[in-house]
């Protein structure tokens, strides 16, 4: 039986076509035919889905990076890995291959000297502060050119503290100010870190509200930006509230995530 026309194409042509799709499309294409399967698994295709223009991160605990590009992509998109120095962690967006990052609490500038959270060395807990001030930054060159990113603060509330029945207080109102800056683009929005949506929406109808994640942490979108690729410097982001000087307690900050926006 004469082979179908698509099977007669050179593997190089199939690889070139698949490399212009997405990781998900490349995996689906592997089921079309044996020719597509060979092309879809090739290093030429998966190299296009990996970060370019910088070295890939070293993995923790001496783990070796896979040699095959597809295996490397699956490793980096499967779970976060620490960058050299152990300060930032990164992973790849499984849909696009864009680099995503977590800036941990210890790398953020947190006002009033937040104490380290004894339950996790990666987080910090605010105890008896008068205002909120949390800021961070990341080198724009680390991000994927042409990608749209969202910035999220990841946190939770203490359930208990020093025998108190309610470990957190003073965090419901007023609204806070979130900011994201890259180059000449400065974005500011109103946010509310407390999950009580009825109270927050009634008093602050224009504030962005948080939601609870599957891992038990909460996340609040601070803003979004486009990585044009020509920016020189840092992407800065933060959250502040300095007008209400009443005591605030029990906010546990894991860090700030910079994720590819779907």
pLDDT in tens, 23-46: 999 988 888 888 888 888 999 999
Name which residue leads in pLDDT, 212 or 242: 212
- Report helix, strand or coil for 257: strand
What pLDDT is attached to residue 121? 52
What local confidence, expressed as pLDDT, does residue 36 receive? 84
The boundaries of the domain holding residue 136 are 99-260
Query: How many domains, the chain?
Result: 2
Among 63, 90, 117, residue at a domain's last position:
90
Q: Which tokens in the block code for residue 248?
A: 């605030």
Residue 105 and residue 80 in one domain: no
Contact at 8 Å (CB) between 111 and 241?
Answer: no
For residue 136, the domain's CATH number is: 2.60.120.260
Nearest to 135 by CA among 212, 47, 53, 222: 222
Q: Same structural domain for residues 71 and 122? A: no
Same domain, 104 and 80: no
What is the pLDDT at residue 45?
92
The mean pLDDT value for 125-153 works out to: 88
Q: How far apart are CA 197 and CA 233, in angstroms?
A: 37
Among 60, 47, 69, CA closest to 90: 60
Task: State the pLDDT at residue 120.
Answer: 46
Tell me the mean pLDDT in the region 80-87: 78
- Using alpha carbons, select from 139, 137, 138, 145 the residue that is nearest to residue 53: 145
Is 161 found in the same domain as 51? no
Question: Is a pLDDT exceeding 70 seen at residue 157?
Answer: yes
Together in a domain, 182 and 216:
yes
pLDDT band, residue 142 (cuts 50/70/90): confident
Q: Phi and psi (nearest 5°) for 151?
A: -110, 125
- Peptide bond connecting 101 to the previous residue in cis, omega within 30 degrees of 0: no
CA distances to 109, 130, 151, 155 from 161, in Å: 23, 17, 29, 16
Helix and strand numbers (H, E) in the chain are: 6, 14
Residues 221 and 174 in one domain: yes
Output the pTM of the full model: 0.81
pLDDT in tens, 188-218: 999 988 876 555 455 555 789 999 999 999 9
170 touches 130 (CB < 8 A): no
| Rounded Cα distance, 16 and 36, in Å | 11
138 and 178 part of one domain: yes
Query: What single-letter DSSP state applies at residue 232?
Result: -
Element (H, E) at 100: strand 99-104
CA 163 to CA 244: how far, in whole Å?
A: 26
Mean pLDDT calculated for residue range 167-194? 85
Q: How far is CA 61 from CA 14, 83, 90, 97, in A?
A: 38, 12, 16, 24
Which whole number is the average pLDDT over 113-131?
Answer: 65
Average pLDDT over residues 11-26: 88
**Residues 167 and 52 both lie in one domain:** no
**Same-domain pairing of 71 and 103:** no
How many residues appear in the chain? 262
């Amino acid at each position: 039986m004469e082979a179908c026309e698509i099977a007669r194409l050179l593997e190089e042509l199939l690889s070139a076509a698949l490399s212009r799709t997405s990781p998900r499309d490349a995996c689906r294409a592997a089921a079309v035919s044996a020719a597509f399967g060979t092309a879809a698994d090739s290093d030429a295709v998966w190299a296009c889905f990996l970060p370019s223009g910088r070295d890939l991160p070293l993995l923790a605990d001496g783990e070796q990076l896979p040699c095959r590009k597809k295996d490397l992509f699956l490793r980096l998109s499967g779970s976060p890995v620490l960058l050299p120095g152990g300060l930032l962690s990164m992973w790849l967006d499984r849909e696009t291959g864009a680099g995503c990052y977590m800036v941990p609490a210890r790398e953020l500038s947190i006002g009033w000297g937040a104490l380290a959270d004894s339950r996790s060395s990666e987080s910090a807990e605010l105890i008896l502060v008068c205002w909120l001030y949390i800021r961070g930054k990341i080198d724009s060159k680390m991000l994927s050119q042409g990608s749209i990113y969202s910035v999220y603060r990841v946190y939770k509330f203490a359930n208990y503290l020093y025998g108190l029945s309610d470990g957190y207080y003073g965090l419901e109102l007023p609204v806070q100010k979130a900011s994201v800056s890259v180059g000449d683009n400065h974005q500011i929005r109103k946010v509310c870190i407390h999950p009580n949506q009825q109270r927050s929406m009634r008093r602050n109808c224009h504030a962005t509200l948080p939601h609870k994640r599957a891992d038990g942490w909460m996340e609040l979108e601070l803003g979004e930006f486009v990585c044009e690729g020509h920016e020189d410097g840092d992407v800065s982001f933060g959250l502040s509230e300095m007008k209400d000087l009443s005591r605030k307690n029990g906010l546990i900050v894991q860090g700030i995530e910079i994720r590819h926006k779907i």
